[in-house]
Structure 1
Amino acid sequence: MSDETYRALKARAAAHGRSVEAEVRQILDAAVAEQTDLGIGGRMVQIAAAVGGFDLGVERDGTASRPVGLG
């Protein structure tokens, strides 16, 4: 690893209140997690978590649905 990269990593770790080793682990964990296909719901959760969450204001309809006739 170049000295420049190490200095940047050390600064990033300090900004996050972690050791360099912990910062490297976090970076690697995040890189691997991004490769996992979460689907649209999982991606929405990640986006919401990144901005502190959000409320869609959607209420479920409690009306019972009618059975589907198959015959």
Structure 2
Amino acid sequence: MAAITVRNLDDDIRDQLRLQAAQHGHSMEAEVRAILTAAVGRRRHRPNALMDLYWSGRVELEADVMPEPMERETERPRVDFSGDDFG
């Protein structure tokens, strides 16, 4: 396993990190590992990356550029929920 040193970390950030770690019931080191893992892992697999860009204001989505929904070729059979089997 690798080890890193973070220099010039603001004292307020360190104090907030210590508090957050205590709230989660583990050490500052474990808290930093969790934060880094979540941050780097999010970049590898980001299913909501487009929405992240939208909410950050870097991308605008317009409804008129969205494709029209496809029509079904066949109708699904209707289900009758009125019978005794459904309580």
Larger radius of gyration: 2
Could you say which structure has the higher helix fraction?
Answer: 1
Which residue of 29, 36, 41 maps to 1:28?
Answer: 36
- Superposition RMSD on alpha carbons, in Å? 1.5
Residues 3/38 of structure 1: CA separation in 2 closer, same or farther (3 Å cut): closer
Task: Please state how far the C-alpha of 1:36 moved relative to its aligned partner.
Answer: 1.3
Task: Please state how far the C-alpha of 1:38 moved relative to its aligned partner.
Answer: 5.3
5+ unaligned residues in a row in structure 1: which ranges? Answer: 41-71
> Taking every aligned residue pair, what percent have the same amino acid on both sides?
43
Partner residue, 1:11: 19
Tell which has more relative contact order, 1 or 2 (C-alpha 8 A, sep 6+): 1
**Cα distance in 2 for residues equivalent to 1:32 and 1:16:** 20
Say how many residue pairs are matched.
40
TM-score, with length taken from structure 2:
0.42
